[in-house]
Chains A and B, each alone.
Chain A
């Protein structure tokens, strides 16, 4: 399976580098590495954090084909990014993107022009990927297994993280969570 080999090569090269690097985006966000899966696309709608990233897996069209997906398309991961503010009629505001693996999730979002920083988009208001400021928090709702595991640095920062503003749909849950 040529594609599988390609992927493991990618994995071999990028993940030690990425886990060692300190230029990682903040808590709850992990670098993206690809593991080709031929499972069907997942479509669960779950509650999310500041920005929900739903990493939907690539499915082989027609199901069951051994090689990596469609013959012309390169292997990639599909994303559904859900904004923290709902649309005026109460439905979630979803943006779909697709990207090759091996990159950082923050880079994929910035290249795809997803509004990641919100009001902290200016030059000195964020740490631009160092993993220390907590302004581009993302909660991964589905597809966590496609991200590389959290490093110790990330886990430390996560423990101290304060979320300043919950997304629209979580506000209701927060009342339930605090009362029970």
Chain B
């Protein structure tokens, strides 16, 4: 796409921009972050700042073809992504992300989880209740809009860049270690994606990838808590001999081209940690595509920099939250912590793209 070269997702340029802009924006960032002041400082064509019904500041990104994205600025949660798709014989914008609850306590959407693993093995959630500030904004006024949020946790400078293109949206995480000791991090971009019906929900492209049952990282915005996600549901009498979920720690290789997600699962698709110690190992696929049989739309999730894919389907539990079925999935680096040495930075990104036109 020609447009994708205008605002390349190529992360070094984002980082450079942020380094230049943070000096200039430092003065602005300390100013109050009310929607009006943000609008004055950063508003432009395709980017509006407003307050949602609960009073949180949100940014609304939109591009020329009608696709739009809403980002809640306080905690960096993407609450809505509506790309333009050809659906039901007309061009329409359809919501991809699944959210539940009233605006004050919204759960779902697409959000970031970042945990620090200390040397003793304890994990500390770095982004719980965090306060992101808008560091920089970029757009080409027509087909690409980008917002960069930043926050500092201890000795880590964390940047979260959300970009909207006509056919895709990207979320990138840049972590820079400004301290003197190396830091170990696990992270995940949890995206809750909406589907029409439980029966027709599947994911394609993970064949040949080993998977294991794993609880998701805990997150404020997640619809299912880790305990709920791991709870197995009782399958019907005639299914009990069918494919069971592997016990924890057991790795199974996905055999099907289409992974049908009717039952309750909580899996991580990755190269097992023991494999990674070998000189050369088969890497997990870099993308998969979600399939919704009833709406006919498919969205491709691409992981860049992250090592694994996390995939969770609620099975029968989805009825507790609403009428739509959903999947909680996304790129993650949850099995083997990433080591960020002093002075270095680590980048990972997840792109949701589609060709439903």
Chain B residue contacts of A94, Cβ below 8 A? 283
* Interchain CA distance A98-B271 in the complex, whole Å: 14
Dominant secondary structure at the A interface: loop
Q: Say yes or no: A88 contacts B282, CB within 8 Å.
A: no
Q: Say yes or no: A112 contacts B10, CB within 8 Å.
A: no
**Residue A96 interfacial (CB < 8 Å):** yes
Q: Say yes or no: A88 contacts B283, CB within 8 Å.
A: no
Assess A112 versus B280: contact at CB under 8 Å? Given A87-B286, A88-B9, A89-B10.
no
**Residue A95 interfacial (CB < 8 Å):** yes
Q: Say yes or no: B207 contacts A113, CB within 8 Å.
A: yes
Chain B residue contacts of A143, Cβ below 8 A? none
Question: Closest CB-CB distance, A161 to chain B, in whole Å?
Answer: 27
8 Å CB contact of A96 from B8, B209, B283, B285: B283
Chain A residue contacts of B286, Cβ below 8 A? 87, 93, 95
Q: Say yes or no: B282 contacts A112, CB within 8 Å.
A: yes
Closest to A85 in B: B287
Closest to B257 in A: A121
**Residue A91 interfacial (CB < 8 Å):** yes
* Interchain CA distance A102-B354 in the complex, whole Å: 40
**Residue A71 interfacial (CB < 8 Å):** no
Q: Say yes or no: B207 contacts A61, CB within 8 Å.
A: no
Chain A residue contacts of B11, Cβ below 8 A? 89
Q: Say yes or no: A90 contacts B280, CB within 8 Å.
A: no
Q: Say yes or no: A95 contacts B282, CB within 8 Å.
A: yes
Q: Say yes or no: A88 contacts B170, CB within 8 Å.
A: yes
* Interchain CA distance A97-B285 in the complex, whole Å: 12
Q: Say yes or no: A89 contacts B283, CB within 8 Å.
A: no
0 or 1 for each of B246-285: is its CB under 8 Å from A? (1 = yes): 0000000000000000000000000000000001111101
Chain B residue contacts of A113, Cβ below 8 A? 207-209, 285
8 Å CB contact of B279 from A61, A87, A97: A61
Assess A90 versus B10: contact at CB under 8 Å? Given A96-B281, A97-B282.
yes
0 or 1 for each of B154-171: is its CB under 8 Å from A? (1 = yes): 000000000000001010
CB interface residues, B 194-243, toward A, < 8 Å: 207-209
Query: Which of B280, B282, B349, B353 counts the most A-chain CB atoms under 10 A from its CB?
Result: B280
Question: Closest CB-CB distance, A93 to chain B, in whole Å?
Answer: 5
**Residue B304 interfacial (CB < 8 Å):** yes
Chain A residue contacts of B304, Cβ below 8 A? 87-89, 91
8 Å CB contact of B351 from A61, A88, A97, A112: A88
**Residue B297 interfacial (CB < 8 Å):** no
Question: Closest CB-CB distance, B211 to chain A, in whole Å?
Answer: 13
Query: Which of B10, B209, B353 counts the most A-chain CB atoms under 10 A from its CB?
Result: B10
Provide 14 A-B residue pairs closer than 8 Å at the C-beta atoms, listed in order of the A residue. A78-B280, A87-B286, A88-B353, A89-B8, A89-B11, A90-B4, A93-B287, A94-B283, A96-B280, A96-B283, A97-B282, A112-B208, A113-B207, A113-B209
Interface residues of A (CB under 8 A from B): 61, 70, 73, 78, 87-91, 93-98, 112-113
> Which 7 pairs from chain A and chain B are nearest by CB?
A113-B208, A89-B9, A88-B351, A89-B10, A98-B280, A78-B280, A93-B286
Taking A61-B279, A93-B287 as known contacts, 19 extra A-B pairs with beta carbons closer than 8 A to each other, sorted by chain A number, are A70-B279, A78-B280, A87-B286, A87-B302, A88-B4, A88-B170, A88-B302, A88-B351, A88-B353, A90-B4, A90-B8, A90-B9, A90-B10, A93-B286, A95-B282, A96-B281, A97-B280, A97-B282, A112-B208
